[in-house]
Amino acid sequence: MKFFLCVLGMVMIVEGIPYVAFPEAMKQFLQKALELPDSTMRKLGIILMLCGLFLVYIGKR
């Protein structure tokens, strides 16, 4: 559980960096993301999940 909390904390740190460094650009990005079709968002989500799974596999090897 400690490891999971550490990983979750690191993800939150990495996810927060663009909002601190480039707040205006993030607002524009989020507005553009709202215009994307659901199918595109699903495909992007699946690709990101597979990349994450691959990184976990490599890290545990």
Q: Kindly indicate the confidence band of residue 1, based on its pLDDT and cuts at 50, 70 and 90.
A: confident
Give me the mean pLDDT over the 42-58 stretch: 94
Whether 45 shows a pLDDT value over 90: the answer reads: yes
The pLDDT tens digits for 18-32 are 999 999 999 999 999
**The predicted structure's pLDDT at residue 23:** 97
- Helix, strand, coil content of the chain in percent (nearest 5): 90, 0, 10
**The predicted structure's pLDDT at residue 61:** 87
Residues 28, 34, 35, 36: is their CA dihedral positive or negative?
positive
What single string gives the DSSP state of each residue in 20-41?
Answer: HH-HHHHHHHHHHHHHS-HHHH
**The predicted structure's pLDDT at residue 60:** 87
How many Å separate Cα 23 from the centre of its chain? 17
